[in-house]
Structure 1
Amino acid sequence: MTRLSRHHLQSLPHDVRRPSYDRAAVRAGVVHLGIGAFHRAHQAAIFEEALNAGDLRWGIIAASLRSPAVRDQMAPQDGLYTMLVRDGSADRAQVIGAVRQVIVAPEDPEALLAALTAPDTHIVTLTVTEKGYKLDPATGGLVEGDAQVAADLVSLKAPQTAPGYLVAALARRKKEGLTPFTAISCDNLPHNGQRLRGAVLDLARRHDPALADWIAAEGAFPETMVDRIVPATTADDVAALGRRLGVEDQAMVKTEPFSQWVIQDWFCGPRPAFGAGVQVTAAVAPWEEAKLRLLNGAHSGIAYLGGLAGIDHVHEVLTLPEARTFVEALWDEAEATLTPPPELDVAAYRRDLMARFDNPTLRHRTRQIAMDGSQKLPQRLLAPIAARLEEGQGVDALSLAVAAWIRWQAGVDDQGAGHVVDDPLARPIAEALSGASDSRGRVDAILALGAIVPPKLAEHAAWRETLMKWLSVLETHGARAALAKLRSEKDAAPVVVS
């Protein structure tokens, strides 16, 4: 089948929305690091709306810091791709034209540095996943033992990391008399703007203290919170869309109707007139915390428990009444640790989240969510656990989710089917667990990993026992039995009348 391209835009079905602007007149005001499905369904769609509104400064030059896969999908399509929005009863298709070019950084680092240094570049966004920042989850500092970080500490002529590219480009901008760009992390890291700024300043200071001072004074690293569920695209998705469009789209993405982007009001240059779905605010942290602990925390628990039970998709896990009880119990525990902004109705947010999880057309795979758990659990599950323990509160549901992650490290589910443990710390975790002969030993081994579990939390004796209890149930009886046990304990809990 012929690939989607600019030549097919006018012949697409009438119900497919397409760019309303002249793509040839667009300037690239945004450079994005880490182009993947999430960026294409979230930030790129938002900049597309700015272009459709007539502000042609917000085209995107995107970069992959690792694989050429997305470039190879998009280049034959003139950078065009379809965003399919599914809500369970209907879907909407929109062709996005905001991405002007995709650079594969390892193949041509100079091209990416040139894009970052261009006078038209005002904003740099990043979706490089938690591990892409090369930060120690416990300390927040650069992981100097990482080979790519070590290389960037020696030379930034051909950077290896996202912070390395930012520092090298900012050095050039300073030398050429240009202002810095606004660097916006769109990954699920707590205080993501501060962490990105810290990584950049740390690396810059190692090379040129005056550069670090200039970045600190003139640059902007706003905190952000992003929220949209974007499942991985399958071959069946591509085939079905091809039948609908009459052309093949290898770069398509599928997503849900809900989209949210909360951005701290801190820019050092121009920005679009953001429309619906974007909230510029003085304080992002309360929004970020609610999203990490409610949406992302529940997602992780669903992923590991559902994956262990041999269930492929989120909505299928939630057909189990005991799984719904688990999610509500986890939310009850996590909600007590939040300080939500006045605009956030947590009860309504929880109802909306459950409806989003129940959306059967998304087919969000549990194994996709289960990736990189060592980088995700500290902010999603361990932080609310620590907060509740400080107040002497129970943490059964949150602990069951952590225990399920530990069980996942064995590489087999409850039926004995194998899976790959896709995690940057998979090897040290496996080495730590290799000497453990029982549930208690495996809990002790995990709690000794300071890169994942904060020492103060690891030393909490009562929590250690709770974690061991749930891991023992998981290893002996399986995920479904653990969910059933949690449900029975919740049903048996006394009702407190105030």
Structure 2
Amino acid sequence: METDTSLPKLRRSLLREPEKFPAVRIGTTAAMPERVLQFGEGNFLRAFVDWQFNELINAGKFNGSIVVVQPLENGMVDKLTEQDGLYTVVQRGFDNGTLVERKDVVTAIRRCINPYRDYHDYIACASNPDLRYVISNTTESGIEYVPQPKPSDRCPSSYPAKLAILLFERFTKFSGDPAKGMIVIPCELIERNGDMLKEAVLRHGEDWGCGGAFRQWIEQNNTFCNTLVDRIVPGYPKDEAAALCASFGYQDDLIVACEVFHKWVIQGNAAAQKELPFETIGLNVVWTDDITPHRTLKVRILNGAHTTFTIPALFAGKSFVKECMDDTLVGGFIREAVFDEILPTLEFDPEERQRFASAVLERFRNPYIKHALISITLNSASKYKVRVLPSLLAYHAKHGTVPVRLSLGLAALLRFYRPSGTGPNGSVGTYQGKEYPIQDAEDVIAVFRAAWESAGQDHGAVTRRLLSSAELWGTDLTAVPGLTDVVAAHLHAIDTGTMTDALHRQTAGSWNQKLMMHQNF
């Protein structure tokens, strides 16, 4: 990154005169007790969790600061320390239909620790009577039980082991005081993240002989919350950094760009909600007894829409998500898939699901986020099974017919996975003379390859073979009345014509009627 030496470096001393920086909103710089221990210093936590704590602090609803712990040996806490824990969050996108840009200096981080270098500083946090919350984002593989010896003076490698030894030290220091338990809120993108983390901590406690009293303290006096997080965070805006810093009036090497939309669903107890009243200041934080419906809402609408339209849009010549939304044909396909075929299948508050779906489509239109379609195609087969297939089956069960757009997305997927050769990074496919990578496990691609090689241009045969694969879908989809014929009809149209023609036809009444008659191709 390039540094403009003519601009002053972002430091706390610089913020003593906030009036000099009218382009940004500066959080409070008052000293506050260290109440939050955060494992992770990456873009997402800084633009999502730390920004929300910053809002809570500025609203006078939380008296505390954050201590950041570097979860891996190679990290960037030194860069954060150089800027006194400060950085600028640039939010850009639509907010209720209006394109907005907001710039905030986050001041919530008080200090940073590299536990691999300063292990005793890390363990000393356990003795802090004010410490109350643990936040983390250590990637999807971060919450994993990895057996290791009980640490004495060296930092354990895994996040659960780091947390386990810290909690044991705290338990020991305060003689098992129930009031010194922690509220643990992991943000890793795995299901039941809180439950999984708690299980790993308890296993380490057993391995290390921490005793039944420690286990009881963890079970009864510490809260591990399951969570769902949602915000697109592109991260450091390299191409715009110099211009942004010039507009700020200071040099910030840790700018983080993100969308305006944010949603944090936390499955926690009433005490945690009372202590962290994010929702009372207008933040989109939902406290709930059951996170499952919220996860289903996100997976079916946001992720399901992505998986449904990405391949048809690619085949229609599009490259980015916003480009799809701006196109009358593809954008119409997306909206109809979401509102006509996905939403009606969800058992969720109608107003909330409508509001969430509208927000999703608004997010897709964000001109500041260039989301490449080809990147979304990674592991499309398994994604379809989890994200779209439940909606397709629920629609069929409810209406007795096959949803036209979701089935078109499935047909496009079958065509996408037709290998035409091998590239430098694995299998490739070709459509309308354009080559593309098929990004999936080779054993998955092999199932599609075998079906296409055995059936040739017989679209009915290849559809029957692929839809009957329990290996791909977990069930035999040819048992769903009408689905095979509808998908085969779509596949025939895609493969013998153009995707644009196929998209036009799915909006035509005669084509819909033909599909509903399940004519074989």
Could you say which TM-score interval applies, normalised by the shorter chain? 0.7 to 0.9
Aligned to 1:489: 506
Q: Is the 2:408–2:490 contact (alpha carbons within 8 Å) kept by the matching residues of 1?
A: no
> 1: CA distance between counterparts of 2:435 and 2:262?
35
Tell me the equivalent position of 1:33.
Answer: 39
Q: 1:14 aligns with which of 22, 30, 43?
A: 22
What residue is the counterpart of 1:289 in the other structure? 296
Asked if 1:154 is matched to 2:161, the reply is no
Letter in 1 for 2:53: F
Q: Does 1:361 align with 2:368?
A: yes
Letter in 1 for 2:147: L
Provide the residue aligned with 2:276 in structure 1: 272
The structural deviation recorded for 1:17 is 0.5
- Residue identity matched to 1:315: K
Partners of 1:248 and 1:131 in 2: how far apart?
34
Partner of 2:457: none
Q: What's the CA shift for 1:156?
A: 4.7
Amino acid at match of 2:169: R
Q: Give the aligned residue type for 2:298.
A: K
How many residues align? The count is 465
Q: Within 5 Å, give how 1:116-265 maps onto structure 2.
A: 118-134=128-144, 149=145, 152-157=146-151, 158-176=155-173, 177=176, 179-202=180-203, 204-205=205-206, 207-208=208-209, 210=212, 211-265=214-268
Structure 2 length-normalised TM: 0.72
Aligned residue identity for 1:80: L
Cα distance in 2 for residues equivalent to 1:447 and 1:167: 46
The answer for the alignment partner of 1:437 in structure 2 is 449
2:358 aligned partner, one-letter code: R
Change (3 A) 1:440 1:184: farther
Q: Tell me the CA shift for residue 355 of structure 1.
A: 1.6
Query: How far apart in 2 are the matches of 1:131 and 1:383?
Result: 26
User: What's 1:327 paired with?
Assistant: 334
Shift of 1:71: 2.7
Q: Deviations over 1:37-88 (max 9, x none)?
A: 2222221111002221345643222234347454354232221111112236
Residue 40 of structure 1 aligns to a residue whose secondary structure is helix
User: Do 1:312 and 1:367's aligned partners in 2 also have CA atoms closer than 8 Å?
Assistant: yes
The residue matched to 2:275 in structure 1 has which SS? coil
Between structure 1 and structure 2, the one with the greater Rg is: 2
Structure 1's 122 and 411: CA in aligned 2 closer, same or farther, altered over 3 A? farther
Tell me, in whole angstroms, the C-alpha distance in 1 between the residues paired with 2:324 and 2:49. Answer: 29
SS in 1 for 2:26: coil
CA contact (8 A) 1:109 1:159 kept: no
Give secondary structure in 2 for the equivalent of 1:125.
strand
Query: With structure 1 as the length reference, what TM-score do the two structures score?
Result: 0.75
Letter of the 1:101 counterpart: R
Deviates more, 1:317-326 or 1:298-307: 298-307
Q: Higher relative CO (CA 8 A, sep ≥ 6), structure 1 or 2?
A: 1
Listed one character per residue, the Cα deviations across residues 216-238 of structure 1 (whole Å, up to 9, x for unaligned) are 33321223333333224331131
Cα pair 2:57 2:64 within 8 Å, conserved: yes
* Residue identity matched to 1:93: K
Given that 2:417 and 2:429 are in contact with CA atoms closer than 8 Å, whether structure 1 keeps it comes out as no
Tell me, yes or no, if structure 1 residue 71 matches structure 2 residue 65: no
Change (3 A) 1:315 1:435: closer
> Is contact 1:220–1:268 with CA below 8 Å preserved after alignment?
no
Q: Conserved in 2, the CA contact under 8 Å of 1:330 and 1:398? A: no
The answer to whether the 8 Å contact 1:27/1:120 transfers is yes
The CA distance in 1 between the partners of 2:24 and 2:201, in whole Å, is 41
Preserved CA contact (<8 Å) 2:24 2:104:
yes
1:155 alignment partner AA: P
My pick for the range that moved more, 468-477 or 313-322, is 468-477
Q: Which has the higher strand share?
A: 2
Gaps of 5+ in 2: 420-425, 454-461, 517-521
Q: Please give the secondary structure, in 1, of the residue aligned with 2:134.
A: strand
Once residues 477 and 67 of structure 1 are traced to their aligned partners in structure 2, the CA distance between those partners, rounded to angstroms, is 54
Across the aligned residues of Structure 1 and Structure 2, the Cα RMSD in angstroms comes to 4.4
* Percent sequence identity over aligned pairs: 25
Taking structure 1 as reference, are residues 403 and 435 closer, same or farther at Cα in structure 2, changes over 3 Å only?
A: closer
Given the alignment, which residue of 321, 346, 355 partners 1:338?
Answer: 346
1:45–1:430 CA distance, 2 compared to 1 (3 A): same
2:519 matched residue in structure 1: none
Task: Tell me by how many angstroms 1:128 deviates.
Answer: 3.2
Partner AA of 2:442 in structure 1: A
CA contact (8 A) 1:183 1:220 kept: yes
**Mapped contact 1:315–1:359 kept (Cα < 8 A):** yes
Contact 1:432/1:446 (<8 A) preserved: no
Between stretches 92-101 and 381-390, larger displacement belongs to 381-390
Instruction: State the 1:166 CA deviation.
Output: 2.7
Amino acid across the alignment from 2:354? A
Counterpart of 1:97 (choices 74, 99, 107) is 107
| Map of 2:86 onto structure 1 | 80
Contact 1:35 1:64 survives alignment (8 Å): yes
Q: Identify the match of residue 58 of structure 2 among 52, 55, 71.
A: 52
Q: Which runs of 5+ in 1 are unaligned?
A: 135-148
Query: Equivalents in 2 of 1:204, 1:193: separation in Å?
Result: 17
Structure 2 Cα separation of the partners of residues 467 and 194 of structure 1: 42
Structure 1 stretch displaced more, 330-339 or 347-356: 330-339
The answer to whether the 8 A contact 1:305-1:404 is kept is no
| Larger CA deviation: 286-295 vs 305-314 | 305-314
Query: Relative to structure 1, is the Cα distance of residues 232 and 434 closer, same or farther in structure 2, using a 3 angstrom cutoff?
Result: farther
Residue by residue over 1:149-177, the C-alpha shift from the partner in whole angstroms, topping out at 9 and shown as x without a partner, is 4xx32335243333333333222222233
Q: Secondary structure at the match of 2:224?
A: coil
- Structure 1 position 94, deviation (Å): 1.0
Contact 1:81/1:252, CA 8 A, preserved across alignment: yes
CA contact under 8 A between 1:439 and 1:468: conserved in structure 2? no
Amino acid at match of 2:181: P
CA distance in structure 1 between the aligned counterparts of 2:93 and 2:23, rounded to whole angstroms: 16
